[in-house]
Amino acid sequence: MKERKNMWEIKQAAQENVLELYIYGEVAGDGYDWWTDEIVRSETSANTFREELAKYADVAEIRLYINSEGGSVFEGTAIYNQLKRHPAKKTVYIDGFACSIASVIAMAGDEVIMPKNALMMIHNAWMMAYGNAAELRKAADDLETINNAGKQAYLQKAGEKVDEELLTRMMDDETWLTAEDCVRYGLADRFADEDADSAKVAGVMQKANLSVQQRIEMQKSLVAQLRQLTEPRIGESDGDPKPEPKAPKQNTEHKNEPNSMMQMLSGFFDAKKE
């Protein structure tokens, strides 16, 4: 098996009392291996971040380098809050892209530094949901609450440079921001001395640049596959090699099955789009 290159790394810097962190790639939570009955620890989970930060509770400065397409809102929000609580000075370097929830994590920096060719993307949270009308309404309400959490991180960093109305509009529009935009809106503090290496970060752009319509189409495809799996297969159990087609009977006993209830709910976060 080919060894996977770490997307996330934490290491002690050569300078005394300085900790360097790297978030390169997707922010993802821990998983579970059903074959081995073991938790699979993600290199970008809040748990991993918490454990590593605890080893360096007394450092004077944390330098965080980000090149990420985003990922889990829940993991990223926890990472942001962990950094905010840490007493060290936080300096964030956007090495290429800080998209979706990765841009929220960047807001934990006391100073955010961006090369002029780096980009940040902000958007509303999104998710897939199914259920009855009450459950879908609750999912929409939950998304608004999640959006507000990310919005407060941006507003706290920006100060008076951007108001909530403008920020809401940018999140609704899934906005890409240049380094100049970020400095103007207070989401970054200054430009880096050198440009980012675009050859090394092109893959992040490709992953992050899925449009809203593309995501909706993927969701529709998933729903169609789930419905196909849950619909009765006519003639499959009657032993007839050439069964006559029959119209499926309506059976109220199955009214709660996923195929009759599945609906999709789309939204978007972290202002990329996490």
Q: What is the pLDDT of residue 11?
A: 61
The answer to whether 188 and 178 have CB atoms below 8 angstroms apart is no
**What pLDDT does 229 receive?**
56
Alpha-carbon gap, residue 194 to 196, rounded angstroms = 7
Residue 242 DSSP symbol = S
In this predicted model, what pLDDT tens digit does every residue of 148-162 receive, in sequence order?
A: 888 999 999 999 999
pLDDT, tens digit, for every residue of 194-231? Answer: 776 555 555 444 544 444 454 445 445 555 555 555 55
| CB distance 121 to 200 below 8 Å | no
- Between residues 17 and 222, which one has the greater pLDDT? 17
Q: What's the pLDDT tens digit per position in 78-90?
A: 999 999 999 999 9
Residue-level pLDDT at 143: 76
Q: Is the pLDDT at 96 greater than 80, yes or no?
A: yes
Quote the pLDDT of residue 250: 46
| Predicted local distance difference test score (pLDDT) of residue 8 | 52
pLDDT for res 142 = 77
CA distances from 3 to 6, 29, 40, 143 (A): 9, 20, 16, 37
**Whole-angstrom distance, CA of residue 72 vs CA of residue 153:** 16
Residue-level pLDDT at 36: 83
- Contact between 255 and 83 (Cβ < 8 Å): no
Tell me what pLDDT residue 128 has. Answer: 74
CA distance 95 to 195: 9
What is residue 175's DSSP assignment? Answer: E
For 24-66, how does the pLDDT look when each residue is reduced to its tens digit (9 = 90+)?
988 988 777 788 877 777 777 888 889 889 988 889 999 999 9
List residues bridging with 12 in a β-sheet.
19
The pLDDT mean for the chain works out to: 75
pLDDT of residue 43: 78
| Reported confidence tier of residue 191, pLDDT bands at 50, 70, 90 | very high
> Which residue in this structure is represented by tokens 């009765």?
232
**End-to-end CA gap in the chain:** 30
Q: Are 62 and 87 in contact (CB under 8 A)?
A: no
Domains of the chain (ranges, CATH numbers): 8-216 (3.90.226.10)
Contacts of 243 (CB under 8 A, 6+ apart): 234, 235, 236
Judge whether residue 178 has pLDDT over 60. Answer: yes
